[in-house]
Structure 1
Amino acid sequence: LLLVAGGHVLMLKAVAMSFVALPLGAPVALDQGFLALVKAASSIFATGLQFAAPVIAAILLANTALAILGRAAPQLQIISIAFPLQIGIGLLTFASSLGLIANGLGTWTAAYGRTVDTFARAVQVAPEPAGRR
């Protein structure tokens, strides 16, 4: 599906444009771009955690219920029940929260684009020292 939609060409164009923005071998002014990079990384991590929070909470609740069930009925093989149950609960929770995730992604992509633009502007190619030419 990625190849039919032309996604591979888009990825190759993105790689080519990264070499235009930051040429190979050119010194980079990292002191200006690290703050933008840290802000972008923290924003991406926090957003990913927010998207995964419903699934994490549902599986934590299922694990707690399975632990109580394992104590109440010790002859029951909890491990053989837990793996498929966790997978099923995780997939059902993900499917039910997909609308919320799509809604969040609608506003997130604009903020992510601004963050990437800020980082790209902050990490400018540093001027070459006079002695290196």
Structure 2
Amino acid sequence: MLQVDFAQLHAWLVMFLWPFTRLTAFLAAAPVLGHNSVPRQVKVAFAFMLCLVIAPTLPPLPAVPVLSWAGLGIMVEQVLVGVAMGLSLRVMLTAVQAAGEYIGLQMGLAFATFFSPDTGANTMILSRLFYMITLLMFLAVNGHLVVIDTLASSFQTLPIGLGGLNAGAFEMLVRYGGTIFVSGLLLALPLVAALLIINLTLGILNRSAPQLTVFSVGFPTSLTVGIFLLMVLMTDFGRFLQGLFGDGLAFLRALVETMAPV
């Protein structure tokens, strides 16, 4: 007859609970694997399966009771690690959304918005289009597999029960948030500059010929030129995403290594 004592049951619980906490925190913050359109039951089941695969490869776990202040501190530590890794991926993909916002404002599509379940607010149609294309490209180049591999290897770089994290890693994560504006503006700059010149030209024409109003001439012109420039931009969109994905995944690995205490 199989008998399980309290020590063995506690060892199994520790082997499962703390890795599961890091995985679920990552899925809650990550934009791809933790998309809001994915049911929560699927996310929990996916984290559970990952935990079953990763648990046998874990380094020795600390002999700390789960129901203790030290166990609570370890759980909070795993949540911080998972959320930080997920936010780094979200920053990488939000840069494309920012580019869609900039282009949409210049094209006169600020009114073309709808509710986005990702952000819980109204999002421009171009921003949503860029975001969906980026997600599909990320899955096409197996970026999600690289992320899962980095997440699994993080338990070797950041073993459970470190006793503290390097605060410099979180400062690096905050500074990486500037990628949203830098990369987004670099992607949108050709269209924004061209449309800005067109708007300035139409403003001068409107002053010289008042019958050339914004609604009769300016809006159709900006929209037509913007669509044409979007077609040109899409020819180089893949190269931009390649660099964005490479920098984002490299930052994710650097973040994991930096979080290790000095």
* TM-score of the alignment, normalized to the shorter chain, above 0.5: yes
The alignment status of 1:34 with 2:170, answered yes or no, reads yes
From 1, 25, 33, give the equivalent of 1:11. Answer: 33
The amino acid that maps onto 1:33 is: A
Q: Could you tell me the TM-score, scaled by structure 2's length? A: 0.36
User: What is the CA-CA distance between 1:65 and the residue it aligns to?
Assistant: 1.1
Q: Give unmatched runs, 5+ long, in structure 1.
A: 1-9, 127-133
User: What is the CA-CA distance between 1:62 and the residue it aligns to?
Assistant: 0.9
Runs of 4+ in 1 over 6 A off after TM superposition: none
User: What is the CA-CA distance between 1:90 and the residue it aligns to?
Assistant: 1.7
The amino acid that maps onto 1:99 is: T
- 2:218 aligned residue: 82
From 35, 42, 56, give the equivalent of 2:192. Answer: 56
- 1:109 aligned residue: 245
Distance 2:202 2:47 in 1: 51
User: What is the CA-CA distance between 1:104 and the residue it aligns to?
Assistant: 2.1
Distance 1:79 1:120 in 2: 52
Q: Could you tell me the TM-score, scaled by structure 1's length? A: 0.65
SS of structure 2 residue aligned to 1:75: coil
Q: Name the structure with the higher helix share.
A: 1
User: 103-112 vs 61-70, which deviates more?
Assistant: 103-112
Deviation per residue, 1:13-39 (Å, 9 max, x gap) = 6x949xx8xxx9514447232232134
Distance 1:45 1:77 in 2: 33
The amino acid that maps onto 2:206 is: G
Aligned length, in residue pairs:
111
**Aligned CA-pair RMSD:** 3.1
Distance 2:225 2:236 in 1: 17
Deviation per residue, 1:28-74 (Å, 9 max, x gap) = 44723223213422234311111000110111011011011101211
Distance 1:16 1:95 in 2: 39
Q: 1:79 to 1:11 in 2, by over 3 A?
A: same
Contact 1:70/1:76, CA 8 A, preserved across alignment: yes
Q: Give unmatched runs, 5+ long, in structure 2.
A: 1-31, 35-42, 52-73, 81-164
- Percent of aligned positions with the same letter in both sequences? 25
Q: Flag the structure with more relative contact order, 1 or 2, with Cα contacts below 8 A and sequence separation at least 6.
A: 1
Distance 1:80 1:122 in 2: 56
The amino acid that maps onto 1:93 is: L
Contact 1:62/1:86, CA 8 A, preserved across alignment: yes
